[in-house]
Structure 1
Amino acid sequence: MTAAGPGGDPWIVRARRTPIGTAGHALAGCSTTDLAAPLLADAAAALDGRIVDEVVLGNCTGPGGNVARVAALAAGLPPGTPAVTVDRQCGSGLEAVLQAAALIRAGDADVVLAGGVEAASTAPWRHWPGAPGGPPGERYTRAPFAPPGHPDPDMGAAADDLARRRGYSRDRLDRYAEMSHARAAAAQRGGVFAAEVVPVAGIARDDRPRTGLTLSRLARLPPAFTPDGTSTAGNSCGVSDGAALLTVVDGHRPPEQLPGEPRPLRVVSAAAVGGDPALPGAALAPAVRAALAHPRARARGLTTASLGAVEITEAFAAVAVAALDDLDLDPELVCRDGGAIGLGHPWGASGALLLVRLAHRMSGPAGARWGLAACAVGGGQGLAMVVERVDG
């Protein structure tokens, strides 16, 4: 690890992910280690002997213990490589990269492997003595997002409440979902994801993208979470398995683009905010505003109008539509190749997955200069990061 002292800018120089598997399907037998270790090994091999100073992985529902440390050792990283696991629920993967960037800016690291992993299929059942809701031994599906005395809705019910309060019609949400499904299916057909995917367990393709999910088919699906709700299996994300990883390095000037890699992205600013636990989906926009209000973003004159590529966690169509409305975003710039509705939502990995998608989207000859990754988080939090493509 480097000596303490001011570091250079954090740069994302490598961006990879596993396939995204629908829970119980292609990656059903994989643990968090099975998913994360191949990415870590792949990233370490590409460093050509450079020392990894830290591994930071996000995870929500895994086996407990230090998921990042176990995966790093399984990947063959030296035992002297420290590793830590972070949990900001479905913002965990983005939080991991935020922490990596902070280490580099502080001068406490030169190279950090950061991302997230979720193995929903093999996640342990939750039970704790005295938990409300049933007799001892009953399965509890999640830990609380908030303590007693605070709202603690399930995410689907909270999305229904957000849609009701905003006056979003079922038709509008289904139209957004139709677009996400179509984009993801078209991107998979066109080989858009091939360069970013590291095969795992012999699987190299995402499970979820499906053709033919038209508005009329989506309209026939019943509410999934509340009796009169607008969120369905078609306009909500799928519970998924997967991992995503970014190589973040220190640099006082733009690093060279490596062969076969997307163009490096500079981490400009990031922000985390708290909001109403009853409406977690509403916290995305305040996080974006906070990231754009950061001195490094303000010095560049950035506003939402500056953003040429945006990736948000489409946990529910209501959350995505709220983000579009609150930030006045152009739908053509948001999740251009489909988001969590069309691809799936491996919770602890999803925030890092946004950055993987941004890196590859922004790398082409016509790639945007400024990009945004943002997510709404269970318990009423939002997280956002602004990145910059710098050529030359």
Structure 2
Amino acid sequence: MRAAYLLAARRTAVAARGGAFRAVEADELGAAPIRAVLADTGIAAEAIDDVIFGNALYGGGNPARLAALRAGLPDHVPALTIDSQCCGGLDAIMLAAERIASGGAEAVIAGGVESFSRAPLRARRPRRLDEAPQPYDRPPFTPWPERDPDMIAAAATLAERFGISRARQDEFAIASHRKALQNPPGPAEIVPLAGLSHDTFPRALTGATCARLAPLAGDVAFGVTRATVAVEADAAAALLVVSETTFRRLSATRPLRIVAAVRRGGDPAMPGTAPIAAAEYLLAAERIAPARIAVAEVMEAFAAQAIACVDGIGVPGPSLNRGGGGLARGHPIGSSGSILAVRLWHEMQSESSGAMGLAAIAAAGGLGSALLATV
């Protein structure tokens, strides 16, 4: 199997729902980082074999195709949108790498796009003429309602089961915001769009502020609050995934080689723990001790979920989310996994050759995805 390389990685800023991107359609969000990775590498648009994006809220259609066309890619370049909820952006990169490894493609743009602000309203058709449409917020993620919990409630259950106190969750969230403020992404990472070139949500979060918040779910000891739940957000990210032949032809500097990647299923009633098995499988298969991970980007949909994953995988503290995580940025569901990969790419640029990086994310329904890469 051929090796696959991440040659360039760009994203928009992350803006909370109803914020700076409230009037920006999903395809406009997605087009911006696509244009940027083309410009960064100098690869001809005609040389792109495919575009694969994750998305969860668009409401049907194929937003990857819209974004590709809006970005100026030729009509002959196909595009594919996948929906594995929060895992979609990282899974898109995995699919791109598999296309490269199989010999089916030489250059694929992969990533994710999500707009909570412009997502369509959802309703089920009535069964009878005298019934009204039934609005709903999210689809089912399992066939069994008793194993398909609300995500906030699931995070509170996870916190209690794993003994992750509210105090520890608060400390984790405070640290995420602090790291985001101390190590903000630069212009090499974020593509300006709609006048925005920085993540809008990071703030000087304090223990006093966290203590005043009532639990959204769970009890006083282990409950989750607005500080320990990532906000709904709008963003897009794109990475150029290429073969070794292509990256050498483009004379790229410091690409990341994808060492391995895997998707795993877990208990749908405890979805936040699924990335543990995925990451453990990768590390064991590659005979890599967790202590060797120089850079780790672990999704922070909830502080409790992130803590459980970090503890379960054994991620070294100094390597974790060095520029903050989802609690500080926000959670644009279908794009979050690709934003992890973009962050990983840029953080790995300062590491020595041979350093190992990990990206891991959970999704509703008990899904977990993880990717290992080296510089």
Relative to the length of structure 2, the TM-score reads 0.93
- Aligned with residue 361 of structure 2, among 375, 381, 388: 375
How far apart are residue 374 of structure 1 and its match? 0.3
CA contact (8 A) 2:126 2:133 kept: no
- Residue 85 of structure 2 corresponds to 89
Q: Distance in 2 between matches of 1:315 and 1:194?
A: 25
CA 1:53/1:175 → structure 2, altered by over 3 Å: closer, same or farther? same
Q: What secondary structure, in the 3-state scheme, does the structure 1 residue paired with 2:183 have?
A: helix
Q: Distance in 2 between matches of 1:180 and 1:195?
A: 21
How far apart are residue 185 of structure 1 and its match? 1.6
Pairing 1:75-154 to 2, within 5 Å after superposition:
75-129=71-125, 136-148=132-144, 151-154=147-150
How far apart are residue 87 of structure 1 and its match? 0.8
- Residue 3 of structure 1 corresponds to none
Q: Distance in 2 between matches of 1:287 and 1:130?
A: 40
How far apart are residue 149 of structure 1 and its match? 5.3
CA contact (8 A) 1:255 1:264 kept: no
Q: What secondary structure, in the 3-state scheme, does the structure 2 residue paired with 1:203 have?
A: coil
Aligned pair 1:324/2:310, yes or no?
yes
Q: Distance in 2 between matches of 1:225 and 1:255?
A: 52
Aligned pair 1:193/2:186, yes or no?
yes
CA contact (8 A) 2:290 2:316 kept: no
How far apart are residue 172 of structure 1 and its match? 0.8
Q: Please give the per-residue CA displacement for 1:97-156, whole angstroms capped at 9, x wherever unaligned.
A: 00000000000000000000000101011111359xxx7334311111111355111111
**Identity value in percent:** 40
Q: Distance in 1 between matches of 2:172 and 2:250?
A: 35
CA contact (8 A) 1:256 1:264 kept: no
How far apart are residue 187 of structure 1 and its match? 1.9
- Residue 224 of structure 1 corresponds to 216
CA 1:136/1:153 → structure 2, altered by over 3 Å: closer, same or farther? farther
Aligned pair 1:244/2:230, yes or no?
no
Root mean square deviation of aligned Cα: 2.0
Long gaps (5+) in structure 1: 1-5
How far apart are residue 384 of structure 1 and its match? 0.3
CA contact (8 A) 2:157 2:218 kept: no
- Residue 24 of structure 1 corresponds to 18
Long gaps (5+) in structure 2: none
Q: Distance in 2 between matches of 1:225 and 1:328?
A: 27
Q: Distance in 1 between matches of 2:339 and 2:229?
A: 17
- Aligned with residue 69 of structure 2, among 70, 73, 79: 73
Pairing 1:165-176 to 2, within 5 Å after superposition:
165-176=161-172
Relative to the length of structure 1, the TM-score reads 0.89
Q: Distance in 2 between matches of 1:226 and 1:136?
A: 34
How far apart are residue 42 of structure 1 and its match? 2.3
- Residue 261 of structure 2 corresponds to 270
CA contact (8 A) 1:361 1:367 kept: no
Q: Distance in 2 between matches of 1:367 and 1:210?
A: 34
How far apart are residue 264 of structure 1 and its match? 0.5
Deviates more, 1:362-371 or 1:175-184: 362-371
Q: Distance in 2 between matches of 1:168 and 1:113?
A: 38
Q: Please give the per-residue CA displacement for 1:219-272, whole angstroms capped at 9, x wherever unaligned.
A: 11111245656111111111100001100000169748967x7x2000110111
Aligned pair 1:204/2:206, yes or no?
no
- Residue 385 of structure 1 corresponds to 371
Q: Distance in 1 between matches of 2:37 and 2:186?
A: 18
CA contact (8 A) 2:261 2:371 kept: yes
